[in-house]
Amino acid sequence: MSFLIITSHKDSKPWVEALKEKAPDLDLEVYPEVRDPKKVEFALSWKHPHGAFRDYPNLKVIASMGAGIDHIIGDKEIPQHIRITRLVDEQLTKDMSVFVLSLVLEHLRNLAEHHCSKEWNPTSYLRPEEVQVGIMGMGVLGVGVAEKLIQNKFNVTGWSRTNKEILGVTKYHGDDQLQDFLKDSRVLVNLLPLTSETRNILNKHLFEKLPKGAYVINVARGEHLVEDDLLEMINNGHLSGAALDVFRKEPLPEGHPFWNNKKIRISPHIASTTNIESVTPQILKNFRLMQEGKNLENEVDRKKEY
């Protein structure tokens, strides 16, 4: 039984070192140099080459190197019997919460505009208690962001596919309640998982339901956003701007119109990054649980896609 690391977008060396430090006897393989594909039963993956897993006939579990799993479930060649897990890490949640809070405050206080301007131009600003922030996606990250915003006196609402009760958050769920959620969200934060239902959800039809002057923050996945719709709604004045940390193509191409739009703030997918030392124990724990035939932690529902 061996443990495979397979990624085309991350350096595997730090993962190898962390895993070996905590489990010196681990039979570890690194793609593409795999000695015996038939021995591989557990894979740690980030943006693997699609179709690569068909070379491992005894594979049982694929673990994501991050909180997102769309890069795995997007590979339709992965058999349904293979279990998928994602990372749930307190540090990831803390990092995301602080990052979103920073973006919201930057917007309310016009900081980016002041920093880039060569003019002495004091402007009015909004205080947290005057702003309703709507969070789409109330999973672990969404709840963490909501708690951080509430601590800083923001009014927070949340929307998800199914009903959830979260202390201090006015909650909406399902398509029937989406419009009520959007109509007063002066800042909209997207933290939805990327699924077949949520792909392209940030579109003109949705933006039109936000109040005039609303601000959009996308820290989930680039495929959630219809880019031309965002540009149209900013240019016609319905949206006051956007802060984007994720994009359909990364790095964002040099000639992309987002770069030249002064109302769009761009960051290079840095909202929260995996701390390898912090998450290695939970990955190894799931490896042991698999060996013992027990339930895994943070397992993905293949039907829900999250």
Q: Is residue 168 part of a domain?
A: yes
DSSP tag of 188: E
Paired tokens of 223: 């495929």
Residues 18 and 136 in one domain: no
Q: Which residues of 271-282 are buried (b: 16+ CB within 10 A; e: fewer)?
A: bbebeeeebbeb
Residues 58 and 121 in one domain: no
Residues 25 and 112 in one domain: no
Q: Is residue 303 part of a domain?
A: no
Domain span at 253: 90-266
Residues 212 and 119 in one domain: yes
Active site residues: 221, 269
Residues 76 and 96 in one domain: no
pLDDT value at residue 10: 86
Q: Is residue 96 part of a domain?
A: yes
Q: Is residue 297 part of a domain?
A: no
Residues 100 and 144 in one domain: yes
pLDDT value at residue 87: 97
Helix, strand, coil shares of the chain, percent, nearest 5, are 35, 20, 45
Residues 286 and 240 in one domain: no
Q: Is residue 262 part of a domain?
A: yes
Residues 150 and 257 in one domain: yes
Residues 41 and 85 in one domain: yes
Check if the beta carbon of residue 238 is closer than 8 Å to that of residue 212.
yes
Type of residue at 258 = F
pLDDT value at residue 113: 86
pLDDT value at residue 119: 92
Residues 84 and 28 in one domain: yes
pTM of the predicted model as reported, rounded to 2 decimal places: 0.96
CATH of the domain at 258: 3.40.50.720
Q: How many domains does the chain have?
A: 2
Residues 73 and 213 in one domain: no
Please report which residue ranges of the chain form alpha helices under DSSP H: 13-22, 70-73, 90-108, 111-116, 140-151, 178-182, 204-207, 227-235, 276-291
Check if the beta carbon of residue 160 is closer than 8 Å to that of residue 146.
no
Q: Is residue 67 part of a domain?
A: yes
Q: Is residue 296 part of a domain?
A: no
Residues 236 and 284 in one domain: no
Determine how many CB atoms are found less than 10 A away from the CB of residue 173.
16
The closest of 86, 37, 84 to 60, measured between CA atoms, is: 84
Residue with tokens 């309310």: 108
Type of residue at 154 = F
Beta bridge partners of 171: 158
List average pLDDT for each run of 10 residues in the chain, which is 306 residues long: 93 96 97 97 96 97 96 95 97 97 97 89 94 97 98 98 91 97 98 97 98 98 98 98 98 97 97 96 98 97 92
**Which DSSP helix (H) or strand (E) runs through 172?**
strand 170-173
Q: Is residue 300 part of a domain?
A: no
In terms of Cβ atoms closer than 10 Å to its own Cβ (0-12, 13-18, 19+), residue 46 is buried
Ramachandran angles phi, psi of 84, nearest 5°: -125, 135
